[in-house]
Structure 1
Amino acid sequence: MSASREADLAKLAALIRKWNPAVNLVAPSTLSDLEERHIRDSLQLANLADRPSGLWLDIGSGGGLPGLVLAICRRDCEIRLIDSDRRKVAFLQAAIRELALEKCTAVASRIEDLPPASADNLSARALAPLVRLMPYLARHLAQNGTAWLMKGRNWQAELETARETWRFDVVVHPSATDPASAILAIRDVHHG
């Protein structure tokens, strides 16, 4: 990893720590382990998504994990961060300015209120169960787009539940930071 990227990730960690008491970007109990638990975890997407192009939509961006981490690692990629909490969007916008992430924007909106984004890539981390995310994927992914969903220890049960009402292709990537978690790369989403 380049020194400038390392410095930007450290700056992001400092911003999260500074804003967290007022905005609750991450659980306070995880702040001491921020670099490993949140930033290194989010870095996995930058490594998995080989040379993304077009629009990357990060939904439920919250503290910018993984969205801001992706924007730091993929400065050539257009990244749009979405969160309904205006205080969190204020943090995201401040971080974008502070880190000079020129191709990254943050929008205060509910995901279901956005016009279809036709995103080439879409990410979500700790947002909602997979079955609740599926309508967002169907609405916002481009025809050949990929959703990168960072799922916790219940990912297998979530996958089974989603398959009851949705058809999709999935590739499961084991998490490098938690052996019981996974990153689901989902494509070709159809209801029914």
Structure 2
Amino acid sequence: MIEVSRETRERLEVFAALLEKWNARINLVSPRDMPHLWERHIADSLRLVPFITRGSRVIDLGSGGGFPALMIGIACDAEMVMVESDQRKCAFLREAARACGVKAQAVSRRIEQAELPPAPYVTARALASLSQLLEWSAPFLLPGGKALFLKGKNLPDELTEAERCWHMQHRILDNRAASGGAIIEISDIKRVE
């Protein structure tokens, strides 16, 4: 896990306790993942923090249980816009943001129906194929903005597929060979004509 301040650690602990409480009522995280919450979800989401400018506005797609949105909000003091279609999960996101002192807005809409001003960053984790993420994120990025996606071991195949439909600049920022996971940063997204 990246190094965080004592205050940030305390806010992450508030989040973890709240998630555990809510998870008993709505499925935010798989029950089998709860014993590994810190390493599988919190630490994994915090991997994005070094690549986001502190205090930036970030749109997170499919925010679900708050990963990576609330981890970024807590650790980067970012202004988070969390797009989540499930109203129960949006209620959790609002409560968790309030409890953790995160500047955040939870938008209860399907991603393709959300109307939001563009932001410098768009993030997502465990949501969809890279091609689909590009389709969803392109309208939400400011010129010069960056999409940051936590992807699994299928990233090379997803990238090949996405390049058939999209022109983009990309680079792999954090590759975890053991787990097969990586962070991909994408900018200058344009659909192939």
Shorter-chain TM-score bucket reads over 0.9
Say which SS state the counterpart of residue 94 (structure 2) adopts.
helix
User: Could you tell me whether the CA contact under 8 Å between 2:65 and 2:93 is conserved in 1?
Assistant: yes
- Provide the C-alpha distance between the structure 1 equivalents of 2:175 and 2:49, rounded to a whole number of angstroms: 13
* 1:3 to 2:2 alignment: no
- Other-structure match for 2:164: 164
Identity fraction in percent: 37
1:106 Cα offset (Å): 1.1
- 1:101-140 to 2 correspondences below 5 Å: 101=102, 103-140=103-140
- Other-structure match for 1:97: 98
Could you tell me which amino acid in structure 2 is paired with residue 32 of structure 1?
Answer: P
How many residue pairs match? The answer is: 189
In structure 1, stretches of 5+ residues that fail to align are none
Tell me the TM-score normalized by structure 1.
0.93
1:132 Cα offset (Å): 1.1
1:154 Cα offset (Å): 0.6
Say which SS state the counterpart of residue 22 (structure 1) adopts.
coil
Residue number among 28, 33, 36 corresponding to 1:30 in the alignment:
33
User: Could you tell me whether the CA contact under 8 Å between 1:66 and 1:123 is conserved in 2?
Assistant: yes
- Other-structure match for 2:87: 86
Which ranges of 4 or more aligned residues in structure 1 deviate by more than 3 Å?
A: 175-179
In structure 2, stretches of 5+ residues that fail to align are none
Residue deviations 1:7-30, cap 9 Å, x none?
A: 111111111111112111111111
- Provide the C-alpha distance between the structure 1 equivalents of 2:183 and 2:126, rounded to a whole number of angstroms: 11
The worse-fitting range, judged by mean Cα deviation, of 169-178 and 151-160 is: 169-178
Tell me the TM-score normalized by structure 2.
0.93
User: Could you tell me whether the CA contact under 8 Å between 1:148 and 1:183 is conserved in 2?
Assistant: yes
Assess, with a 3 A threshold, how the Cα gap between structure 1 residues 3 and 123 changes in structure 2: closer, same or farther: same
